[in-house]
Structure 1
């Protein structure tokens, strides 16, 4: 199936509506204006994290950005729209895939039997790839979570969560406690306890073996 084209005009219109520019968006993303221009023309694929940052910049839901970026994620997700967006290594570090892809139907079926799929933030998956260490017992499992682009979701405190530090590092860990300003104590997958400033965190919804 051919990948849908990015709706460049939608992004241009949204920038105009909010009185912002491509250069301003580039500064927000920390990239060159030429990189944003290539992305809007379809020459460069948009990353999931970038979609969240663009949504924040434009003041729209992440799902709306994903729809117009060529990755269809509606407010009522269909099976083909639950995406595998990242991998998790033996240290618990989350590495986003260059291009999210649909999860296997068997995983989606089990996910729908396990969790309630509601809200406008898309549910995505990260595949554990760990041949050694504590996560090796879950090698090949898929961790499902609701994509959350900013702030520590209060529901993540005390639970295994996907965390993103202020430096941009993404990792799997249990949030022991967190302040509204983002300072948190997290127990990482390797057992290390870290005091870290979090930009975002969202709880793990399910782990599908």
Structure 2
């Protein structure tokens, strides 16, 4: 990607990289990876990026300087609910492997599992009823989760979506909400943390 062109284009349009990520239904870190060429871009993503940058797909592909992966339609298994303000204790209360239902993952991000948000403590970033895809693999190194929006399972059995920051002891974290009215939880013992990798917005109407 020609970064100067990308940054100049955003400035010219009065738009932001975070706005692009939201438009594409991706975590902002995914856009950085695309710009650094450490992650490929799917054709569906390229279409969305070209739309946001108000340029042609052919011009964008030329600026990307990398191969665009063909379209892949993948489904994601919805395994339960995650709290963003409300306490949720049932992320896997169904027959193992069956899930609650399946949805199409956005922009071919595809596969894996996702959860449904309950509550509004992470609004306007995540809203009640939206689906969050996440990666348990990316959560294996806790230090790489700090400062990121993550699905978290606490030792007391709660499933939450929060911004994760360090705690004072191993396997403890500080949980921060986007909504400043929601108290910060410090030094919370956890079972696992998984960064959010994509968001599927709740349908309007």
**What is the TM-score when the length of structure 2 is the normalising length?**
0.47
